[in-house]
Amino acid sequence: MSARSKARKRALDILYGADLREMPLRDALTVEAQRAASEPQREASWLYARDIVDGIIDNAEEIDEQIETYAQGWTLARMPAVDRAILRIGVWEVLFNDEIPAAVAIDEAVESAKTLSTDDSAGFVNGLLGKIAQANG
């Protein structure tokens, strides 16, 4: 698994954990930063994971608005927590990270959904992120 894939997984863990605990994302990031300081061997994945979570915090309103706009008939509240986290990471990479091609961001999100969520989630994530990428391309 590439360092960026590991970082996405780490960011997903932070987002998912904060969502389940109903904890502010910035607080969850602080907790993870403290843990990361004691794990220098995992620094490569931490740096990009922090960039992802910081980016989601900074652009939360627009990211969630994009998801709600293109998730026909689905609100964020109705989505499984893991899908919300996967989509937020994917939307951030598609819209706000010029270093990652949209196709790569979408593929990574779909793989996460296949591994971590429901049978229908991969198709949902693929379709939703594809629409967002196309509309903002």
Contact 70/132 with Cβ under 8 angstroms?
yes
Residue 124: pLDDT band with limits 50, 70, 90: very high
Q: What is the pLDDT of residue 26?
A: 96
Domain enclosing residue 105, as ranges = 3-136
Distance CA 98, CA 38 (A): 30
CATH classification at residue 8:
1.10.940.10
Q: What is the pLDDT of residue 73?
A: 86
Average pLDDT over residues 108-117: 96
Residues 6+ apart with CB under 8 A from 28: 14, 15, 17, 18, 21, 53
Residue 2: pLDDT band with limits 50, 70, 90: confident
What are the tens digits of pLDDT across the range 62-86? Answer: 999 999 999 988 899 999 999 999 9
Residue 122: pLDDT band with limits 50, 70, 90: very high
Q: What is the pLDDT of residue 116?
A: 95
Q: What is the pLDDT of residue 28?
A: 95
132 token code pair: 């967002």
> Looking at the 3D structure of the chain, how many domains does it have?
1
Burial of 20 (0-12, 13-18, 19+ CB in 10 A): exposed
